[in-house]
Structures are given as C-alpha cells and as structure tokens.
Amino acid sequence: MAMRLAADHVRVSVPATAGNLGPGFDSLGMALGVIDDLEVRAVASASVSVEIEGEGAASLPRDESHLVVQALRAALDHVGASQTGLEIRAVNRIPHGRGLGSSAAAVVAGIVAARALIAEPEALDAAQTLYLANAFEGHPDNAAPAIYGGATVAWKDTEGAHARPLVVASEIETAVLVPSSTLPTKEARAVLPAKVPHVDAAFNVGRAALLVNALAGRPEDLFAATEDKLHQGYRADVLGPATHMVRELRRRGLAAVVSGAGPSVLVLGTGLEAAGLGTGRLAWADGIGGDSWACVHTVERVPGATGVRL
C-alpha cells in the first residue's frame, strides 16, 4: 500500500552525539547539547534546493547528493511514499569532522523529516529510523542517541541495528571540548588493528559494564569506567590534539574520553563548570595539543531528534 504525504512543511531538530564514550566502542553513545535545525518543504516539482547556514556552508553539496536528501528519499521509499521536490533550509551548528556525529545527525534528520511529512508517522518509529540510519552509517553508536536522546547502547545482529536508552542520573553533566582542527573518521578507523589481545577485550567489557552503572547514578565511578584499551591508544598518533587533551583532563581527575573518532573530547561528570569546563572559549586550554579549544557544557538530558509539521 502506498503511503501519502500529509504535510508539506516540517521542522526538524537533531543533536550532536558522542560515540564510544571510552570503552563502549561502536555501542555506547550520548546526545550532546549542540543542535542542528532544518526546515523541509515538499514542492510539486522534481527540483531540490538546499540552503545552508553555519557549519559546512562552504563545502556541503546543494543537490540530491546532500546526506539529508538521500536519507529523506530512502525513508520515503521505505514506506512506499511518493517522491517529491524538496526545499531544505539547514542551520548547522554541529561541527564537521570533529567526532560529534554530524553525518549521523544529517541522516537522522532526513528520516525524521520524512516521518513528519507522511500520513502515518508510526511507520518510521524510532526502531525503523535506526534501521534505516544504520544502512547509511554502518555503526549505530551515533545514530542511536541522535534518535532516542540521552545515552544509548546499540548493537547489531542479522536483522540490522537495535538500541535501548540508558538510565542517566540527573546530576551527570557533559562537556565537549572542540578543537579547531578536524579528523576524517575513516582516517581514525584505518589505524585500528584487526585483532586485539584477549586481556584488553576483557578490560573493556568490564569498563563498559561499569560505565552503564556509573551513568545511572554512581558518578564517582566515571573516571575508572571511561578507561579504554580498544581504540584510543591505537589512534593516539592520528588523534593529534585530542590525545593531549584527554591526558591533561584525566591528570586533573576528570572522566575524559575521545568523542567518537575525535578529535573532540568528551567529559562526563558533576560540577564541570567549577572544573573550568563552562561553555565558550577555554583560555586555559589554549595551546594544548597545539590547538585552541571551545567548550559546550550541558546539564540537562538532551532529547533526540524531533520533527513537527508547520
């Protein structure tokens, strides 16, 4: 049965995300307080126009190859809805190439836009959205928190990708430190070994389990729970400034990890502003790893992607 479009103008918001959270490689993720906003209009023509303000305005495509357009079209196909011309206006705040899930956000935004446009939005519920997003992304640790909000655990099986929201205690805050330099994810993935020692795998299993418990209300365990032996050490040389920043923050006793594939750095904990991690430029961090740093400090749980009809 073909699905019809029930709206022609929608607004979508989608958060930045941190994948891995240290030990939870390709499985744990968290939504961060940096939000992309898009307005999408379905128009009665075959044309596509994309207007971009903010991040990627100089470099992103303005045609069918734009990730939001590709994901939106894939979602319409998935539910049997007819394709349409599109006018998209994007206000991008999520930095690109910094390990903050900008591509996952674009994919999720496209699918959520399709959900808001169609007559039966439940056909693109959270589980279906993740299933479709995973076809683009290949690893669901960023797409899952972009969809569900908060922190999530994701996994894959023969049927595709799945995720569950995690309990995160209200006192746990995040701070994400963003350097001015970028790092393509595929470069960071290329340095990972095909095999790791059994002892390191066991180490990460324990730390990831501890992290789930720490997030649920044991912030005193976050420092130990964010240790990792599966990816950050292997990537130390390509991560550039992130390696130095993680080292400096952990020396101060803060639970710092590389955000996704870097080079941004995520800190989990309580009272982060008092620890010098307020939102804005970080003067004390200037020159660490040969870079300058900006911080986004978030206290409340960040909701997942939303789409509303206008």
pLDDT tens digit sequence for 189-214: 788 999 999 999 999 999 999 999 99
Question: Across residues 143-172, what is the average pLDDT?
Answer: 97
pLDDT at 225 over 60: yes
> Are 9-167+302-309 and 173-298 in the same CATH fold?
no
Residue ranges covered by each domain of the chain: 9-167+302-309, 173-298
pLDDT at 1 over 70: no
In this predicted model, which residue has the larger pLDDT, 53 or 236?
53
Using pLDDT thresholds of 50, 70 and 90, give the confidence band for residue 236.
confident
Question: Across residues 72-93, what is the average pLDDT?
Answer: 96
Question: Across residues 15-28, what is the average pLDDT?
Answer: 97
Q: Choose the CATH number for 9-167+302-309 among 2.60.200.20, 3.30.230.10, 3.40.50.1010, 3.30.500.10.
A: 3.30.230.10
| Residue range 53-63, pLDDT digits in tens | 999 999 999 99
pLDDT at 95 over 70: yes
By the 10 Å C-beta count (0-12 exposed, 13-18 middle, 19+ buried), 152 is classed as buried
pLDDT at 27 over 70: yes
Numbered residues of the known binding site: 95-105
Using pLDDT thresholds of 50, 70 and 90, give the confidence band for residue 185.
low
Highest mean pLDDT: which range of 33-37, 45-49, 234-238:
33-37
Question: Across residues 269-281, what is the average pLDDT?
Answer: 97
What integer pLDDT is reported at residue 222 of this predicted model? 98
Using pLDDT thresholds of 50, 70 and 90, give the confidence band for residue 46.
confident
Numbered residues of the known binding site for ATP: 95-105
Q: What does the mean pLDDT of the chain come to? A: 95
Identify the architecture of domain 173-298 in CATH: 2-Layer Sandwich (3.30)
Question: Across residues 277-281, what is the average pLDDT?
Answer: 97
pTM, two decimals, is: 0.95
Using pLDDT thresholds of 50, 70 and 90, give the confidence band for residue 87.
very high
pLDDT at 183 over 80: no
